[in-house]
Chain A
Amino acid sequence: MGEVLAYIGLVIVGVFLLYKTFKTDDRRYIYLAVGIFVIFPFFIPLDIPVIVSPETQQLYDAVEALPDSSTVLLTFDYYASALPETEPMSRAALHHLFRKDCKVVTLTTIPLGGPSISEDVTREMAEIYGKEYGIDFVNLGYKANYVAVLKGMGSVIDIIYPTDNSGTPLSEIPMMKDIKNYSDIDFIYVVSDNGIVDYWMSIVNAQYQIEVGCGVTAVMAPKYYAYIGSGQMTGLLGGMKGAAEYERLIGKKDEATKGMGAQSLVHLFIIFSVLAGNIIFFFERRKRFNQAGGAR
């Protein structure tokens, strides 16, 4: 009952701030309202059911269908600024891959933050599953010029990456002895916040016929549905919602699932604001029209 009253209070505050925005034309009231709507569910949780989309299910099924101990290339193609959307995807992917005893090769095409994010997240997840560096997973790190990297890895990986992220030559890493190029990789799991996905599709998927599944930020998701429609991409996670869906499928409710309450609440507020703004706009136009004597 207390929670219901709290949410009723929140709605009243939201409507009041919206009213102040329209009254004063000061957008800071909207910022304040959005801030309150985001913070509120962290103190009084809003349990929103996460419904799994077919694209997320397709990616999960593709990973699930891989034989145990398959080799998977997992990319961390994102900047630190996109972490809330992309990091939960990487974590969920690693849960799934390590649970299936897959050999995981990670890399990044992003210089700022990419190498350290991939190192930190992979090592943290590996510790949970008791995986050993060099035997179960390897972090190749970053190399400049992603087109040359993506293309070159099709011939010989250790020409592009002579060493791993820590500077150890690949020839000294046991896991990399059997992984020479794309033909030794069973699946590519791209997590990205930028247009690099296009190149994973057009250079790697199209030319080397390796299945590529992607997790992308919500801004990018509409564009990449085209690859799902054409059957080129094997599954797609769109933003925090996609990450929450994947978390549900692997049975690990984490950061993305926690954020979905705030996400849903703010979306409702924005929908209400758009509707209210339009209704007020039409009323005011009609009022001006009537004040002008009904003549245009």
Chain B
Amino acid sequence: MSLVEFLQIWIIAFFTLSLFSFLYKDNPFYKLAEHIFAGLSAGYYVGLIWESVILQQMIDPMFNNGKWWLVFPGILGVLMFSRFSKNYSWISRISLAFVMGTTAGIFLVSELHGKVLPQIQATMKSLDPSQGFAGFILALIIIVGVISTLIYFYFSKEHKGALGGVAKVGIWFIMISFGAHFGYTVMARISLLIGRVQFLIDDWGGSIVQLFS
């Protein structure tokens, strides 16, 4: 293990343990790690955007490849900074209008074509018993689940009588969905902890062993 790798591992271990120390109580090590992370992220992000967007996609093509028309999106970008002035902040709306217009145009098609229609289609299940008992039950669950959940979110009429009954079934489906989400969330968070523990045991532990061997 080289000296650089060794230092790298110890710095990572220091920040990992500093952040974990918050579980005991708030302390200066946790705050130090938190602030360094925020500062580094901001600095890294600025550098990356400067390199990959401003230089690579605007300045280089403009001056090296003659793509002079890139000056227009550049101006739109500069106009966004007018938001810092009370008197001229309205100018930034020109850029925002452009962003909103293009975003709406792209998403109108993609959301409808890629999400809404295929998902509606996927809930239109056949209840034909010839597909087998399991298939029939799964289709039935999807149909009942979709309809009852939609009815739960129908607020134009008071949830009483038959409507209230179906809405209650909808609540059960929503609760089961929350349960599944919670279970997966636990798994995700534990996975992150496992990752850190793996690092501390294998890498940091290994470097400590090497230090004393």
Contacts and interface: CB of A to CB of B under 8 A. Distances in A.
Question: A and B, one complex?
Answer: yes
Interface of A: 28, 31, 34-35, 38-39, 42, 81-85, 111-112, 115, 141-144, 147, 151, 162-163, 198-199, 201-203, 205-207, 217-219, 221-222, 226, 229-232, 238-241, 255, 258-259, 262-263, 266-267, 270
A259 B194 contact: yes
B68 to A, nearest CB: 16
Contact of B195 (A83, A111, A162): A83
A201 B191 contact: no
Interface string B175-198: 001001100111110111111111
Contacts, number: 133
A226 to B, nearest CB: 6
A272 B184 CA distance: 17
B56 A267 contact: no
A81 B186 contact: no
A188 B213 CA distance: 47
Given A111-B44, A226-B122, A229-B122, 15 more contacts: A39-B201, A42-B201, A85-B191, A85-B195, A112-B41, A142-B48, A151-B106, A206-B110, A218-B188, A219-B184, A221-B184, A238-B184, A239-B191, A240-B194, A263-B191
A112 B45 contact: yes
A143 B53 contact: yes
A202 B197 CA distance: 37
B141 to A, nearest CB: 11
Interface in B149-204: 177, 180-181, 184-188, 190-198, 201
Nearest to A114: B48
Q: Across chains A and B, which 10 residue pairs bring their CB atoms closest together, nearest first?
A: A84-B195, A202-B114, A206-B114, A230-B122, A218-B188, A240-B191, A218-B187, A202-B110, A219-B188, A259-B194
B19 to A, nearest CB: 11
Nearest to B193: A38
Contacts of A230: 118-119, 121-122
A112 B44 contact: yes
A201 B115 contact: yes
12 contacts: A35-B197, A38-B193, A84-B191, A84-B198, A85-B192, A115-B48, A143-B53, A162-B56, A202-B111, A205-B114, A206-B118, A207-B110
A221 B181 CA distance: 8
A111 B106 contact: no
Contacts of B24: 28
B52 A143 contact: yes
A134 B111 CA distance: 35
Nearest to B44: A112
B106 A267 contact: no
Nearest to B99: A145
A267 B182 CA distance: 12
B113 interface: yes
Contacts of B107: 147
B61 interface: yes
Contact of A38 (B185, B188, B194): B194
B49 A111 contact: yes
A231 B122 CA distance: 8
A142 B191 CA distance: 26
A221 B185 CA distance: 9
Contact of A226 (B119, B180, B186): B119
Contacts of A202: 110-111, 113-115
B97 interface: no
Contacts of A85: 188, 191-192, 195
Contact of A39 (B23, B119, B186, B197): B197
Contacts of B23: 28, 31
